[in-house]
Structure 1
Amino acid sequence: MKKLLIFIILVSGTYQAALAQHASDQEKTEVSQSVNMTEEEKVNHLINYLRHLSGSVFIRNGNEYSPDKAADHLLSKWNKHKKKVKTAHGFVDRLATFSKTDEPYQIRLKDGSTIKCGDFLNQELKRIELQSSFLE
């Protein structure tokens, strides 16, 4: 019985070490992927970042939309115009900042504060580009 218990402890420790190594490898993979992001990947990241902004509200032309609807809207604009808008910065500045009526898109965050969508997405874009520059 003692040998079985020692075996279980050893196997458990090895298993935990393997899990920790896998998590470390996963983080390294995610980091290296962020370093090499294409402009399209950056745009997709921004759209998904908005999509997963739980508890927030997207405001377009005075109407409120869920983050999911907002992301779908911006994705459709991106798909329609990506041949003309080639960069993530162009996406934010030309497609994700204003509606056709020149009214700024806004986001009401979970804490109740409101920010212009363009400013919000530019902050995230700067963050991922800064992270990439540190990792190169």
Structure 2
Amino acid sequence: MKKLIVFIMLVSGTFQASFPQNSSCRNITAVSQVVIMTEEEKVNHLIDYIRHLSGSVFIRNGKEYSPEKAADHLLSKWKKHKKKVKTAQGFVERLATYSKTDEPYMIRFSDGHMEKCGDLLSLELQRIEI
């Protein structure tokens, strides 16, 4: 039985695996790169995420809006308040969850189920921060 020894190196944020010369796997290299987003990039990603929820309806103060209109609304709130709200988490909690009337922003998906916008964006933020 042959033993396969794999060497893994971390070089400048990438993972590389190298295999011994006599291995049948010697031409395989695994590379993974970690991308670190700024808080501004995270917020822009979240707004873009809303913009591309095709088939869904954004509900604000009882009125229905397209995902594009919803994203434009959230972007305008972000531009107005980003000096006070410094993080993507703050954006979700303070700007993308409730209207001025304290009603939660809701999203109705094409299959009919509804979710709070803040909950949806919190999940997406967790996903991109991993």
Q: TM-score, normalised by structure 2?
A: 0.74
Supply the distance in 2 between the matched residues of 1:128 and 1:109 (Cα, whole angstroms): 21
Query: What TM-score results when the alignment is normalised by the length of structure 1?
Result: 0.71
Specify the SS of the correspondent of 1:111. Answer: coil
> Which 4+ runs in 1 deviate beyond 6 A?
none
User: Is 1:83 equivalent to 2:83 in the alignment?
Assistant: yes
**1:37 and 2:18 equivalent?**
no
Deviations 1:56-112 (A, max 9, x none): 000000000000000000000000000000000000000000000000000001211
Cα offset, 1:38, TM superposition: 0.1
Distance 2:114 2:95 in 1: 19
Higher helix share: 1
For structure 1, list consecutive stretches of 5 or more residues without a partner in the other structure. 1-27, 131-136
User: 1:67 — aligned with what?
Assistant: 67
> Which structure ranks higher in relative contact order (CA pairs < 8 Å, sequence separation ≥ 6)?
1
- C-alpha separation in 2, matches of 1:84 and 1:71: 20
Higher strand share: 2
Matched-pair identity in % = 77
What is the total number of aligned residue pairs between the two structures?
Answer: 100
